[in-house]
Structure 1
């Protein structure tokens, strides 16, 4: 994988925390994926907020994901 200066800086910072470039990349990919899932859940909740049945289901999902209590 080719990287630019910004990517190398990020990798060095994460490698210091995670121990290896592989673990740093793994961590970053999983974190980005989690953010994507949370954004989608938030968008779904907004879209479905006016339907009481959907509200209950989305609240249960958000609680499961740790987005709300």
Structure 2
């Protein structure tokens, strides 16, 4: 496992303090925050992709063709 050094400011220290109140270590709090932020970014990208697909008839047709090929729809 690699190590990462991060400079914190007052806002970061406040956030870390809030995330460690439940007993997490500082390292666990930072990992938690990074993974949740990454998950949120992936969800935002998936939502944007879904909106794009919903609004483009060519993409919808391709998506349906792929679902049919995979046996997900008839």
TM over 0.5: yes
Q: TM-score, normalised by structure 2?
A: 0.67
Count of matched residue pairs? 57
Q: TM-score, normalised by structure 1?
A: 0.71
Structure 2 residue runs of 5 or longer lacking an equivalent are 1-5, 68-74
Structure 1 residue runs of 5 or longer lacking an equivalent are 58-69
Which of the numbers 14, 38, 51 marks the counterpart of 1:33? 38
Which of the numbers 59, 63, 66 marks the counterpart of 1:54? 63
Runs of 4+ in structure 1 over 6 Å off: none
Following superposition, the deviation at residue 17 of structure 1 comes to 2.3
User: Whose RCO is larger (CA < 8 A, sep 6+)?
Assistant: 1
Aligned-residue Cα RMSD (Å) equals: 1.9
Give 1 or 2: higher helix fraction: 1
Larger Rg over CA atoms: 2
